[in-house]
Amino acid sequence: METAVSVEALGRRCICVSCDVNEAADIETTIESTRAAFGSFQILVNNAGVASLGAPEETTDEEWSAVIDTNLTSVFRFSRSAYPTLAEAGGKIINIGSMLSIFGLAFAPAYAASKGGIVQLTKALATAWAKDNIQVNAVLPGWIDTELTRQARAQIDGLHERVEARTPAGHWGHPDDHAGIAVFLAARASDFVTGTAIPVDGGYSVQG
Protein backbone atom coordinates (compact mmCIF):
# COMPACT_ATOMS: atom_id res chain seq x y z
CA MET A 1 0.00 0.00 0.00
CA GLU A 2 2.86 2.39 0.69
CA THR A 3 3.95 2.14 -2.94
CA ALA A 4 0.39 2.72 -4.14
CA VAL A 5 0.11 5.88 -2.04
CA SER A 6 3.41 7.17 -3.45
CA VAL A 7 2.30 6.50 -7.03
CA GLU A 8 -1.09 8.12 -6.56
CA ALA A 9 0.58 11.16 -5.00
CA LEU A 10 2.22 11.68 -8.39
CA GLY A 11 -1.20 11.84 -10.01
CA ARG A 12 -1.03 8.32 -11.43
CA ARG A 13 -3.57 5.54 -11.09
CA CYS A 14 -2.43 2.41 -9.28
CA ILE A 15 -3.89 -0.97 -8.32
CA CYS A 16 -2.69 -3.46 -5.71
CA VAL A 17 -3.04 -7.18 -6.33
CA SER A 18 -2.07 -9.82 -3.77
CA CYS A 19 0.14 -12.42 -5.47
CA ASP A 20 2.05 -15.46 -4.27
CA VAL A 21 4.68 -15.78 -6.98
CA ASN A 22 4.90 -19.51 -6.29
CA GLU A 23 1.27 -19.97 -7.34
CA ALA A 24 0.71 -20.04 -11.10
CA ALA A 25 -2.95 -19.09 -10.63
CA ASP A 26 -1.97 -15.94 -8.69
CA ILE A 27 0.39 -14.92 -11.46
CA GLU A 28 -2.33 -15.29 -14.09
CA THR A 29 -4.75 -13.32 -11.91
CA THR A 30 -2.21 -10.50 -11.52
CA ILE A 31 -1.68 -10.29 -15.27
CA GLU A 32 -5.41 -10.39 -15.97
CA SER A 33 -6.19 -7.79 -13.29
CA THR A 34 -3.60 -5.42 -14.71
CA ARG A 35 -4.97 -5.77 -18.23
CA ALA A 36 -8.51 -5.25 -16.96
CA ALA A 37 -7.53 -2.09 -15.09
CA PHE A 38 -5.28 -0.48 -17.70
CA GLY A 39 -6.06 -2.22 -20.97
CA SER A 40 -2.44 -3.21 -21.44
CA PHE A 41 1.02 -2.78 -19.94
CA GLN A 42 4.53 -2.39 -21.34
CA ILE A 43 6.84 -3.04 -18.38
CA LEU A 44 7.32 -6.06 -16.13
CA VAL A 45 9.73 -5.97 -13.18
CA ASN A 46 10.51 -9.32 -11.58
CA ASN A 47 11.66 -8.52 -8.05
CA ALA A 48 10.51 -11.29 -5.68
CA GLY A 49 13.30 -12.70 -3.56
CA VAL A 50 14.03 -14.83 -0.51
CA ALA A 51 17.26 -16.26 0.88
CA SER A 52 18.28 -19.26 2.91
CA LEU A 53 21.62 -18.94 4.66
CA GLY A 54 23.76 -21.92 5.57
CA ALA A 55 26.51 -24.21 4.33
CA PRO A 56 25.69 -26.28 1.21
CA GLU A 57 25.90 -29.55 3.13
CA GLU A 58 23.35 -28.21 5.62
CA THR A 59 20.87 -26.90 3.03
CA THR A 60 17.73 -29.03 2.88
CA ASP A 61 15.76 -29.89 -0.25
CA GLU A 62 12.91 -27.76 1.08
CA GLU A 63 15.14 -24.72 1.57
CA TRP A 64 16.68 -25.17 -1.87
CA SER A 65 13.32 -25.48 -3.63
CA ALA A 66 11.78 -22.52 -1.78
CA VAL A 67 14.58 -20.20 -2.90
CA ILE A 68 14.80 -21.47 -6.49
CA ASP A 69 11.04 -21.38 -6.95
CA THR A 70 10.63 -17.87 -5.56
CA ASN A 71 13.71 -16.25 -7.06
CA LEU A 72 13.99 -17.96 -10.45
CA THR A 73 10.98 -20.06 -11.43
CA SER A 74 8.61 -17.17 -10.69
CA VAL A 75 10.57 -14.96 -13.10
CA PHE A 76 10.04 -17.47 -15.89
CA ARG A 77 6.34 -17.88 -15.06
CA PHE A 78 5.63 -14.15 -14.85
CA SER A 79 7.56 -13.43 -18.04
CA ARG A 80 5.77 -16.22 -19.91
CA SER A 81 2.39 -14.95 -18.72
CA ALA A 82 3.21 -11.35 -19.64
CA TYR A 83 4.59 -12.25 -23.07
CA PRO A 84 1.34 -12.04 -25.08
CA THR A 85 0.62 -8.55 -23.74
CA LEU A 86 4.17 -7.28 -24.16
CA ALA A 87 4.34 -8.69 -27.68
CA GLU A 88 1.33 -6.65 -28.78
CA ALA A 89 3.28 -3.41 -28.99
CA GLY A 90 6.72 -4.20 -27.59
CA GLY A 91 7.79 -3.82 -24.00
CA LYS A 92 10.39 -4.22 -21.30
CA ILE A 93 11.21 -6.89 -18.76
CA ILE A 94 13.57 -5.98 -15.92
CA ASN A 95 14.80 -8.87 -13.80
CA ILE A 96 16.42 -8.21 -10.45
CA GLY A 97 19.50 -10.36 -9.97
CA SER A 98 22.29 -9.85 -7.45
CA MET A 99 26.03 -9.63 -7.04
CA LEU A 100 25.68 -13.35 -6.46
CA SER A 101 24.72 -13.63 -10.11
CA ILE A 102 28.48 -13.12 -10.58
CA PHE A 103 30.08 -14.42 -7.39
CA GLY A 104 29.64 -17.56 -5.35
CA LEU A 105 28.97 -17.33 -1.64
CA ALA A 106 29.71 -20.18 0.74
CA PHE A 107 26.77 -19.52 3.03
CA ALA A 108 24.03 -18.94 0.40
CA PRO A 109 24.23 -21.70 -2.26
CA ALA A 110 20.56 -21.69 -3.25
CA TYR A 111 20.40 -17.90 -3.44
CA ALA A 112 23.57 -17.76 -5.56
CA ALA A 113 22.24 -20.45 -7.91
CA SER A 114 18.90 -18.68 -8.30
CA LYS A 115 20.50 -15.32 -9.06
CA GLY A 116 23.02 -16.87 -11.46
CA GLY A 117 20.06 -18.41 -13.25
CA ILE A 118 18.46 -14.96 -13.55
CA VAL A 119 21.29 -13.82 -15.83
CA GLN A 120 21.04 -16.83 -18.13
CA LEU A 121 17.25 -16.64 -18.25
CA THR A 122 17.50 -12.94 -19.09
CA LYS A 123 19.78 -13.74 -22.02
CA ALA A 124 17.51 -16.54 -23.24
CA LEU A 125 14.36 -14.42 -23.12
CA ALA A 126 16.13 -11.46 -24.73
CA THR A 127 17.22 -13.64 -27.62
CA ALA A 128 13.85 -15.34 -28.03
CA TRP A 129 11.71 -12.21 -27.87
CA ALA A 130 13.82 -9.62 -29.65
CA LYS A 131 11.71 -10.31 -32.74
CA ASP A 132 8.69 -9.06 -30.76
CA ASN A 133 10.44 -5.82 -29.78
CA ILE A 134 10.68 -6.93 -26.16
CA GLN A 135 13.87 -5.96 -24.36
CA VAL A 136 14.88 -8.12 -21.40
CA ASN A 137 17.62 -6.96 -19.04
CA ALA A 138 18.79 -7.63 -15.50
CA VAL A 139 19.92 -5.32 -12.72
CA LEU A 140 22.47 -6.78 -10.31
CA PRO A 141 22.33 -4.99 -6.96
CA GLY A 142 25.51 -5.08 -4.94
CA TRP A 143 25.56 -5.04 -1.17
CA ILE A 144 22.50 -2.94 -0.41
CA ASP A 145 21.27 -1.94 3.04
CA THR A 146 18.00 -3.88 3.24
CA GLU A 147 16.19 -6.04 5.77
CA LEU A 148 17.58 -9.14 4.04
CA THR A 149 21.21 -8.01 4.23
CA ARG A 150 20.77 -6.83 7.81
CA GLN A 151 19.84 -10.39 8.69
CA ALA A 152 22.98 -11.63 6.92
CA ARG A 153 25.16 -9.13 8.80
CA ALA A 154 23.65 -10.26 12.07
CA GLN A 155 24.55 -13.88 11.28
CA ILE A 156 27.92 -13.46 9.56
CA ASP A 157 30.67 -11.94 11.70
CA GLY A 158 32.66 -9.25 9.93
CA LEU A 159 30.47 -9.13 6.80
CA HIS A 160 29.72 -5.43 7.13
CA GLU A 161 33.38 -4.48 7.42
CA ARG A 162 34.50 -6.79 4.60
CA VAL A 163 31.96 -5.34 2.20
CA GLU A 164 32.95 -1.77 2.99
CA ALA A 165 36.64 -2.60 2.58
CA ARG A 166 36.15 -4.18 -0.85
CA THR A 167 33.69 -1.59 -2.27
CA PRO A 168 35.52 1.31 -3.95
CA ALA A 169 32.64 3.64 -3.02
CA GLY A 170 33.43 2.76 0.61
CA HIS A 171 29.90 2.11 1.82
CA TRP A 172 26.84 -0.08 1.42
CA GLY A 173 24.30 0.93 -1.19
CA HIS A 174 20.78 2.24 -0.68
CA PRO A 175 17.67 0.95 -2.50
CA ASP A 176 17.26 4.36 -4.17
CA ASP A 177 20.61 3.82 -5.90
CA HIS A 178 18.75 1.61 -8.40
CA ALA A 179 16.24 4.22 -9.48
CA GLY A 180 18.29 5.61 -12.35
CA ILE A 181 19.10 2.30 -14.02
CA ALA A 182 15.51 1.09 -13.59
CA VAL A 183 14.15 4.22 -15.29
CA PHE A 184 16.64 3.82 -18.13
CA LEU A 185 15.80 0.16 -18.74
CA ALA A 186 12.07 0.95 -18.68
CA ALA A 187 12.37 3.87 -21.11
CA ARG A 188 12.61 4.19 -24.89
CA ALA A 189 16.21 5.25 -24.37
CA SER A 190 17.11 1.57 -23.86
CA ASP A 191 15.30 0.19 -26.94
CA PHE A 192 18.59 -1.17 -28.36
CA VAL A 193 19.77 -2.62 -25.05
CA THR A 194 18.79 -6.22 -24.38
CA GLY A 195 20.22 -9.30 -22.70
CA THR A 196 22.45 -7.28 -20.41
CA ALA A 197 23.14 -7.70 -16.69
CA ILE A 198 24.14 -4.37 -15.16
CA PRO A 199 25.79 -4.24 -11.72
CA VAL A 200 24.80 -1.42 -9.37
CA ASP A 201 27.35 -2.02 -6.67
CA GLY A 202 29.62 0.95 -6.00
CA GLY A 203 32.39 -0.79 -7.94
CA TYR A 204 32.36 -4.00 -5.91
CA SER A 205 32.39 -6.29 -8.95
CA VAL A 206 35.32 -4.57 -10.69
CA GLN A 207 37.63 -5.55 -7.86
CA GLY A 208 39.33 -8.76 -9.06
Q: Which residues are catalytic?
A: 111
Instruction: Please enumerate in sequence order all residues whose Cβ is within 8 A of that of 94, keeping only pairs 6 or more positions apart, or say none.
Output: 43, 44, 45, 46, 137, 138, 139, 182, 185, 186
Distances (CA, A) of 102 to 53, 80, 107, 178, 205: 18, 25, 15, 18, 8
